[in-house]
A and B are shown apart, each in its own frame.
Chain A
Amino acid sequence: MAAASSQTMLPDFSLSPRIDQVGVEERAARFTTRSIKKESKLNGLKLILNMIDLTTLEGKDTDGKVKQLCYKAMHLHDAVPGLPTVAAVCVYPSMVKVARKALEGSGIKVASVSTAFPSGQAPRDIKLRDTRFAVSEGADEIDMVISRGRFHAGEYNFVFDEIAAIKEACGDARLKVILETGELGTYDKVRRASDIAMYAGADFIKTSTGKIQPAATMPVTLVMLEAIRDFYYKTGKMIGMKPAGGISKSKLALHYLVMLKEVLGEDWLTNEWFRFGASSLANDVLMQIVKEHTGVYQSANYFSVD
């Protein structure tokens, strides 16, 4: 039976590697000491722009707000020619249609959160309908949340099956699985949740919803990158990574790129395999780019409002 044979390939998730907390934090801190200047800094900044999932996930979002965000995604700062666009715009399912229309022909993807984001506390059939609705409205990518409560209760099969079911509902849309690391508590659990998500069919694993503190941190991202690396060695399949929440300064974003390059290598240095979930990061990166061009420190007054 096909199911049985694929089941035998699955590892026992309770045996996922344990993480050395001190070691991971020390290692993550090392990445912040690299010095990146001039030309390489400028290229790094442009790459960061191109990796951003420009996000608005608020109860007060309106069609107008989403259209404005989409315009910004396409015209980051027209005063500087040759800038890339962001990778995607990330919205709630009810806003997908608006975003899809606004981004027509731009090549920018529409990402939609789903599965009762951000808590994930809803029955599976609702989560599935939520996902199918977003896909049918035109979402290219789905950002789902895992059931953290079930995960903490040790019901790994439930979490695994849920991700697999959502993956199936996604069809051609790429699936990002949000672990919400701020609610997982330990690096061990982050690693275990990463393994479950990847084996269940995630195309990306993502740290956070942005609604819970702490959101993305460098050590947590490092743990997940290492999980991706191990998964790649075992299966030959590349998985993407998306830290989200709390990355609002370009310097920090550059540190993440350094970490990405040194853990996973050059193949991952593209927006196909790495994203930043952020809203205010774009403006800070733009200010740094203009600073590199003009030699003059910039003011937020001269950049678009987020």
Chain B
Amino acid sequence: MRLEVLKTYKLYIGGQYPRTESGRYYIARNKAGAQLANVCLGSRKDFRNAQVAARGAVAGWSGRAAFNRGQILYRIAEMLESRRAQFIDELLLQDLSQAAAEAEVNTSIDRLIYYAGWCDKFQQLFSAVNPVAGSFFNFSVPEPTGVVSIIAPQNSPLLGLVSVIAPVIAGGNTCIVLASEQKPLSAITFAEVLGTSDLPGGVVNILTGSVKELVSWFSDHMDVNATIYCENDSSVQSSIREKSALNLKRVFFYDKKDWNSEEGQSPYFILDTQEIKTTWHPIENIAGAGGGY
């Protein structure tokens, strides 16, 4: 006879697993009302701490070779694969059917591989050498925008989460993610996958808690560069737009995406959190060299 050791579901901030500073928790339940776990009810200050961690990680992560970022995303997929059974069990607890749970985990792994591949390729696709009327070599390249705050999809606890995180970090950004409020378990277990994937601390920070309580902090922080919201609550959307205007955050609503389908993955998701930088490099008369720019 032994007592089962139950996991404490905690936050993921700066590569560590702290409890919420507020000391609060809520109970995650399945449809039948059975208690699944006590989950941290994250607070404003948790978000603040996560932002500091995310900002601190930007230079290192965006400075890595794109190929290395791809390797790390691939490593995340490997770690997820090795814990496949655990994730399926957890999704079953959260009311998914066996088939749906398996599909969710499989697609999540494939999606990470997909974005791992894109890490060192989207730049070629979205860069350009531009024709200009002057003696300049003129080119545009995408660069990461910085820190991205994300409110993850509610009904796709793992695949939705992976689908919004992967393109953001593939592009060299760091992020603070608020997990699905009703189905938060997979997000925290996914944080354990991230923690064992050579992903530097602070690149991904995962909070659990109430969307209603935290959304304003996700959108009005002056040191966050872009924000992503995945539900279609129009009052929340307009509030996000308004608060994001404070520092001209980029705002994206992924509210009509079917994460299970092909439209749930695209290099354009990476492009969303990139800034296009154009360089005017003085040169000698380009036509003189017979070039055709």
Q: B220, A296: Cβ atoms under 8 Å? A: yes
Chain B contact patch, size range: under 10
Query: Is residue A301 contacting chain B, with contact meaning CB distance below 8 A?
Result: yes
Interface of A is mostly: loop
Is the C-beta of A302 less than 8 angstroms from some C-beta in chain B?
yes
By a beta-carbon cutoff of 8 Å, the part of chain A in contact with chain B is: 296-302
Chain A residues within 8 Å of B222, by CB: 296-299, 301-302
Which of chain B's residues have a CB closer than 8 A to the CB of A296?
220-222, 246
Residues of B within 8 A of A (CB): 48, 51, 217, 220-223, 246-247
Interface of B (DSSP majority class): helix
Q: Is the CB of B48 within 8 A of A299?
A: no
Nearest-neighbour CB distance to chain A for B276, whole angstroms, equals 19
Among B221, B222, B223, the most chain A Cβ lie within 10 Å of the Cβ of B222
Contacts of B220 in A (CB 8 A): 296-297
Assembled-state Cα–Cα distance A297/B48 (Å): 8
21 A–B contacts from the bound complex (CB under 8 Å): A296-B220, A296-B221, A296-B222, A296-B246, A297-B48, A297-B51, A297-B217, A297-B220, A297-B221, A297-B222, A297-B223, A298-B222, A298-B223, A299-B221, A299-B222, A299-B223, A299-B247, A300-B223, A301-B222, A301-B223, A302-B222
Q: Which residue of B lies closest to A302 (CB)?
A: B222
Of all chain B residues, the one with the shortest Cβ separation from A291 is B222
Residue of B nearest to A295 (CB): B220
Q: How far is the CB of A300 from chain B (nearest CB, A)?
A: 7
Q: In chain A, what residue has the closest Cβ to B48?
A: A297
Contact residues in A for B246 (Cβ distance below 8 Å):
296
Closest chain B CB from A292 CB (angstroms): 14
Complex Cα distance, B223 from A296, in Å, reads: 10
A213 to chain B, nearest CB (A): 20
Closest to B243 in A: A296
List, in ascending order, chain A residues with CB within 8 A of B48's CB: 297
Q: Which residue of A lies closest to B225 (CB)?
A: A299
Query: How far apart sit A301 and B55, CA to CA, in the bound complex (Å)?
Result: 12
Residues of the B chain whose Cβ atoms lie less than 8 Å from the Cβ of A297:
48, 51, 217, 220-223
CB distance from A33 to the nearest CB of B (A): 14
Residues of A within 8 A of B247 (CB): 299
Docked pose: A298 CA to B217 CA in angstroms: 11
A297→B44 CA distance, assembly (Å)? 10
**A219 to B221 CA separation, bound complex (whole angstroms):** 34
Cβ distance B207 to chain A, nearest Cβ, rounded Å: 15
B241 to chain A minimum Cβ distance, whole angstroms, is: 15
Q: Cβ of B217: which chain A residues have Cβ within 8 Å of it?
A: 297
Give the distance in Å from the alpha carbon of A300 to the alpha carbon of B48 in the complex: 14
CA distance A300 to B221 in the complex (A): 12
Question: Chain B residues near A301 (CB, 8 Å)?
Answer: 222-223
CB distance from B240 to the nearest CB of A (A): 14
Max count, chain B CB within 10 A of own CB: residue among A296, A298, A301, A302: A296
In Å, the complex CA distance between A299 and B249 comes to 12
Cβ of A64 to closest chain B Cβ, rounded Å: 27
For residue B45, give the distance in angstroms from its CB to the closest CB of chain A: 10
Cα separation A299 to B217 with both chains bound (whole Å): 14
Bound CA–CA A302/B246 (angstroms):
12
Bound CA–CA A87/B246 (angstroms):
33
